[in-house]
Amino acid sequence: TKHNLEATLFDKILYKIRNSKFVGSKKQRYLLWEKFENYILTRKKFCDILKGFKADLVVTASPGIVTTADLPYLRAARILEIPTCGVIQQWDNLSTKGLMPFRPTKLAVWNEASKKDAMELQYYDFQDVEICGVPHFDLYQKAPFEDRDYFFKKIGFNPNKPLITFTTAPYKSVADHTYVLDILVNAMKEKLFLKEIQVLCRLHPLDDKKRYQKFKNLENIKFDFPGKYSPYLGWDPDLEETKHLIDTLYYTDVLINIASTITIEAAILDKPIINLGFSTSEPGRFYKSVLINHHKKHYKYILEIGGIKIANNEKEFIDYIKTYLENPKIDSEKRKQLAESITYKLDGNQAK
C-alpha cells in the first residue's frame, strides 16, 4: 500500500515535542504523549488491511526510528489490540535517534548494551526486551563467497598486494574526510610502507561522490559505490550487495573508518581496524560529530573493549597501518572479544 513514507514537517514537529525536556525527560509524560500521538495518526485503511490478514502479530524492522514506513501498520495493530515486535536493526538506534514514535510491545535487540539503552533511554521494562543478536550478520560465518583472484579482478586490483579498505561516513555528519586519502597518497609516494599497498575507498551511500574526483585516476586507489539508497528504507542492500561487502572485508588487510558499525563487521572476520581520532579538514566539526556524538555514546562500548587502534594524528595513522601489515594478529583476541560482546553470538544462527 502506497502512503507517505518520508518524514513530513508535521512528523518533525512531533519529534521535537516528543524529545523536548518537558515531554521526553519524564517517563509518564512520554508514554502519554506517545499514545496520544499514535491515536491521532492512526488511519482506518490500515486497520482494514490488518483485519484482512487476520494478523496475530505485527513485526517491524524499524518502529519509526530509521523509516516511517511501518508506522501506519503498527498504529493500526495497537487499535486492533494486536501485539507488536520491533527488531532493532542497528545497535545505535536506541541511543542516537531520540525517543521512538511508537513503542512495540516487545523489542528484539543486539546485546546487553542495547537492552540497557532500551530500559534507560526508551523506558522499557526488563521483561519486554529480548537479546537476540544480529540476524543479518549470520552470513559472515559463510565467508568468502568468491575466491580471492576473482574478487580482486572484479575490483581491479592485484591479489598479491595488501588491500587497505577505507569506508567513509555520511557527508553531513562528518563533512570532508578526503584528508584520509590525501595522507595515504602521500605515504605511498614517499614509500613509507614495506609493501606497495592498494586502497579501496568504499563510499557511504550518503557521502558526496564529487569530493573524490581528484583521486579517480590514481592507479592504487579504486572506489566502491554501494547499491541503492532509498529515502524510505535508508541503505537497502540486496543479497549480492551484502555478499560483496562481506568479501571486501574478508580480503581486506587493514580496515580504516571514522567510527562505524563496519568496525564490528571487520572484527567478526578478525581484520585489523583503525579508527580516525583526528581531522585535518574540519577539526571542530569532527570533534563534535565523532568524538562527542559517537565516542561518548554507543561507540563507547567498542572503546571500552578495545581491539582497535585510534589514530590521533597522521604519524600514528601511518604507524598503525605498518604495524598491522607486518603483524595482522596483533589485537586478534580483543577483536574476537569485541565481536562476541557486541553481536551476542557468532554461531550463524542468530536469525533463528
* C-alpha angle 7-10-11 in degrees, rounded to nearest 5: 40
Higher-confidence position of 322 and 91 = 322
Handedness of CA 135, 138, 139, 140 (dihedral sign): positive
Stretch 91-119: mean pLDDT: 93
Model confidence at 301: pLDDT above 90: no
pLDDT of residue 71: 92
Stretch 313-329: mean pLDDT: 97
pLDDT of residue 3: 42
Distance CA 29, CA 37 (A): 12
Render pLDDT for 275-298 as a digit per residue (tens, 0 to 9). 999 988 888 887 788 878 777 787
Helix (H/G/I), strand (E/B), else coil: 216: coil
pLDDT of residue 2: 43
Render pLDDT for 236-277 as a digit per residue (tens, 0 to 9). 788 999 999 999 999 999 999 998 899 999 999 999 999 999
Model confidence at 6: pLDDT above 60: no
What are the phi and psi torsion angles at 170 (to 5°)? Answer: -60, 140
Q: Which of 49-53, 94-98, 283-287 has the highest mean pLDDT?
A: 49-53
Predicted TM-score (pTM) of this structure? 0.89
Lowest mean pLDDT among 61-65, 85-89, 124-128, 134-138: 61-65
pLDDT of residue 7: 59
Model confidence at 175: pLDDT above 80: no
If one counts every other C-beta atom within 10 angstroms of the C-beta of residue 153, the result is: 13
Render pLDDT for 57-89 as a digit per residue (tens, 0 to 9). 999 988 888 788 899 999 999 999 999 999 998
pLDDT of residue 4: 44
Q: Which is nearest to 273 in space by CA: 334, 349, 351, 198?
A: 334
Mean pLDDT of the chain: 91
Distance CA 31, CA 25 (A): 11
